[in-house]
Amino acid sequence: MLFFFGSRSSKIGDRKIRKTTCTHCQTKDSFVVSTFSKYFHFFWIPIIPLFKTHVAECSHCKKSYSKFEFTPEMNAALQKENELNPAKRPIWHGCGCIILVCFFSLMLSISFYGVYKRANNSEASITQKDPRKDMLAKDIDKLSSILQKDKDSISITGQA
């Protein structure tokens, strides 16, 4: 079987942070922080959200800063922005886990139901007679009663 699994990222929000200065072009209050959420997927269905990352971009000079390049003022501004307006993961980032749990619960329930039904019907299936067996016995009796010695000599000699 072929399984597709791995991790992917998706953008979950953009926020402008205040009281910051770009170290490259010295422009004030020009940062837009994009938040990305990384998740584990199975057949491209998100299963488990892993972590969030932040990337800041100066809207003036377009220089990007990853989280470990943030200045202390950028970290403080991002922390304040997260308290006021946090970037939340969408519900579909964890829906794969819910779908898998529901699927396996359904399969388990169906199998338990089948075992329960089979356990209750075991006596009925043993005592139930196959109608084809009766038909076969009647056909054999009918054919053996109309044997003719001159036409069916092989069949008659085979019977002892």
Q: For the chain, how many structural domains are there in total?
A: 1
Nearest to 33 by CA among 53, 10, 60: 53
Residue 160: pLDDT over 70:
no
Distance between CA atoms of 38 and 107, rounded to whole angstroms? 30
Residue 94: pLDDT over 80:
no
Q: Is residue 100 part of a domain?
A: no
Q: Which DSSP helix (H) or strand (E) runs through 9? A: strand 5-17
Q: Is residue 77 part of a domain?
A: yes
How are beta strands 31-42 and 45-58 bridged, if at all? Answer: antiparallel
Q: How confident is the model at residue 108 (pLDDT cuts 50, 70, 90)?
A: very high
This prediction has a pTM of: 0.56
Q: Is residue 99 part of a domain?
A: no
Residue 91: pLDDT over 60:
yes
Q: How high is the pLDDT of residue 106?
A: 93
Q: Is residue 140 part of a domain?
A: no
Residue 90: pLDDT over 80:
no
Q: How many CB atoms lie within 10 A of CB 69?
A: 12
Distance between CA atoms of 56 and 21, rounded to whole angstroms? 12
User: CA torsion 56→13→80→27, rounded to 10°?
Assistant: 30
Backbone angles phi, psi at 86, to 5 degrees: -70, 145
Residue 125: pLDDT over 80:
no
Q: Which domain holds residue 87?
A: 5-93
